[in-house]
DNA sequence: GTCTATAATTCGATAGAC
DNA sequence: GTCTATCGAATTATAGAC
């Protein structure tokens, strides 16, 4: 378990640096500096910089996939399914905003083959949300409109919470954020 | 004017490539390939890669600054000011989604001094939107709530339209998009 | 696992001829 | 303005000793 502890420490620092700099600007040299070891030691934990990116990206993608699958399989109404999606994003953002930053912005640096796999999964995720929107319109709980457009509005609202510097606001707790975000998406800003 | 025509062609290709690859991954070599000239020719138009980034970023920032200043100085109600902000973003996104992608994602690669200037302007922009939200709550046209949170929700909804591949949807026109976006932000998705 | 040393590429930018 | 040629710096990754 000693090795796993070291690898977890490595992944923690790698996630933070990758989020801070972006894939291309992050260097193995700087990562080694933060780990307080030589650059060559990094290759004890990972085969290449590309493999590190791949590992982190699909780790997060898998969590989203499991989350949305559970929601899809539930007997919730469309509105409650949408609320569960919002909850999923808020909780993952609170857990680690850096991971969500990476998930949103760094996938384009994957090798061509893996990028295709990643985008297929992301499209599958978005399709499941579109289905929720569609079903909600069908049973008149959502306003009728263009499904893809509403799906994009919802995703934009929840996808970029990582950039809100949530951790710096100590008075903000995830439950309160979840409530406010749900209220915004369901009923907007107007009184 | 011949030189300006060439420089404009250069800026057009540079904007597209910078948006596609990101600052660090964009190379002067590839830009030269797309321009069908040698790498060294690029330096006829620009002093350095950093200067190119600076030029493009502050060009867009200035447009947003002028837009929000006009809205701020108007006699519109808070709701109409918010609608005008949404209109500003929709129109600029339609005009050139690549420029908005750069504006949102590439500023972190500015040199330290210029990055500070950029972030000050962006904060000033966001403060003006927060003021609109605050005034709207004051006169009971907006629901009361945490101003910064609502400001972030609004900005998330409109800031990432560049990633919706708007240009590929020929049936979508900016006026229709503006109407739908306004409806989402003002009153949400619920029936 | 840790280090030193270095190979092999790639990049931004410049010099200088035409 | 265009090109050829090239410099100097930075990068990922590996070899091999301890």
Whole domain around residue A6: which residue ranges?
Answer: 1-46
Strand-pairing partners, residue A142, are: B190
Question: Which positions in chain A touch B177 (Cβ < 8 Å)?
Answer: 149
Q: Is there a single domain that holds both residue B71 and residue B19?
A: no
| Strand D-proximal protein residues, Cβ less than 7 Å | A 26-29, 39-40, 43, 47-50; B 2-3, 6-7, 37-41, 44
Instruction: Give the per-residue pLDDT at A167.
Output: 81
Question: Which positions in chain B touch A181 (Cβ < 8 Å)?
Answer: 153
Alpha-carbon torsion angle A121, A127, A131, A133, nearest 10: 120
- pLDDT at residue B29 tops 90: yes
- Nearest nucleotide by C1' position to the B4 CA atom: D1
CB-nearest partner of A150 from B142, B152, B189: B189
Contact with chain A for residue B119, Cβ under 8 A: no
Q: Is there a single domain that holds both residue B20 and residue B109?
A: no
Give the chain A residue whose CA is nearest to the CA of B24: A24
Band (B115; pLDDT cuts 50, 70, 90): very high
Three-class SS of residue B171?
coil
Instruction: Give the per-residue pLDDT at B95.
Output: 96
d(CA B154, CA B85): 10
Q: Is there a single domain that holds both residue A61 and residue A138?
A: yes
Q: Which two tokens stand for residue B171?
A: 């049936």
Other Cβ atoms closer than 10 A to B99: 21
Strand-pairing partners, residue A190, are: B142
Give the chain B residue whose CA is nearest to the CA of A159: B156
Which has more confidence, B170 or B108? B108
Instruction: Give the per-residue pLDDT at A4.
Output: 78
Measured in angstroms, the CA of A25 and the nearest CA of chain B are apart by 6
* pLDDT tens figures, A88-135: 999 999 999 999 999 999 999 999 999 999 999 999 999 999 999 999
Instruction: Give the per-residue pLDDT at B140.
Output: 98
Between positions 50 and 69 of A, the ones with CB within 8 A of B are none
Per the structure, the count of domains in chain B is 2
What CATH number should be reported for the domain holding residue A25?
Answer: 1.10.10.60
d(CA B4, CA B1): 5
- pLDDT at residue B1 tops 80: no
Do B83 and A188 form a contact (C-beta atoms < 8 A)? no
Which has more confidence, A169 or B110? B110
Band (A12; pLDDT cuts 50, 70, 90): very high
Q: Is there a single domain that holds both residue A29 and residue A60?
A: no
Residue burial B17-53, b: 16+ Cβ < 10 Å; e: rest: bbbebbbbbbebeebbeebeeeeeebeebbeebeebb
Which of strand D's nucleotides are less than 7 A from any protein C-beta? 1-5, 10-16
Q: Where are the alpha helices (DSSP H) in chain B?
A: 2-21, 28-35, 49-73, 78-95, 97-105, 112-138, 147-159, 174-187
Instruction: Give the per-residue pLDDT at B3.
Output: 54
| Average pLDDT of every residue of chain B | 96
Band (A2; pLDDT cuts 50, 70, 90): low
**Distance from CA of residue B86 to its chain's centroid?**
12
Q: Is there a single domain that holds both residue A41 and residue A81?
A: no
Q: Is there a single domain that holds both residue B111 and residue B41?
A: no
- DSSP assignment, residue A144? -
Q: Is there a single domain that holds both residue B35 and residue B111?
A: no
- Nucleic strand C near CB of residue B33 (< 7 Å): no
Contact with chain B for residue A119, Cβ under 8 A: no
First vs last C-alpha separation in chain A: 56
Q: Is there a single domain that holds both residue A40 and residue A55?
A: no
The spacing between the Cα labelled CA in A99 and the C1' in D18, in angstroms, equals: 37
Instruction: Give the per-residue pLDDT at B145.
Output: 97
The spacing between the Cα labelled CA in B27 and the C1' in C10, in angstroms, equals: 10
Give me the percent of chain B exceeding a pLDDT of 90.
93
Q: Is there a single domain that holds both residue B26 and residue B88?
A: no
d(CA B178, CA B94): 11
Give me the percent of chain A exceeding a pLDDT of 70.
98
* pLDDT tens figures, A159-179: 999 999 888 887 788 999 999
Q: Is there a single domain that holds both residue A8 and residue A84?
A: no
CB-nearest partner of B141 from A142, A160, A191: A191
């Amino acid at each position: 378990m000693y090795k796993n502890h070291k690898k977890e420490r490595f992944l923690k620092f790698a996630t933070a640096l990758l989020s801070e700099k972006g894939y291309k600007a992050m260097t193995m040299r700087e990562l080694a500096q933060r780990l307080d070891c030589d650059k060559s030691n990094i290759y004890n934990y990972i085969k290449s910089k590309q493999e590190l990116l791949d590992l982190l990206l699909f780790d997060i993608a898998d969590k989203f996939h499991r989350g949305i699958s559970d929601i899809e399989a539930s007997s919730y109404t469309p509105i409650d399914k949408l609320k569960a999606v919002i909850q999923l994003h808020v909780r993952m953002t609170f857990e680690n905003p850096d991971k969500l930053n990476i998930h949103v912005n760094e996938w384009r640096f994957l090798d061509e083959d893996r990028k295709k796999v990643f985008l297929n999964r992301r499209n599958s995720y978005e399709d499941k949300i579109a289905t929720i929107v569609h079903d909600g319109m069908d049973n008149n709980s959502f306003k009728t409109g263009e499904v893809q457009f509403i799906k994009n509005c919802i995703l934009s609202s929840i996808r970029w919470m990582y950039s809100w510097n949530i951790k710096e606001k100590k008075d903000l707790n995830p439950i309160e954020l979840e409530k406010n975000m749900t209220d915004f998406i369901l009923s907007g800003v107007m009184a």
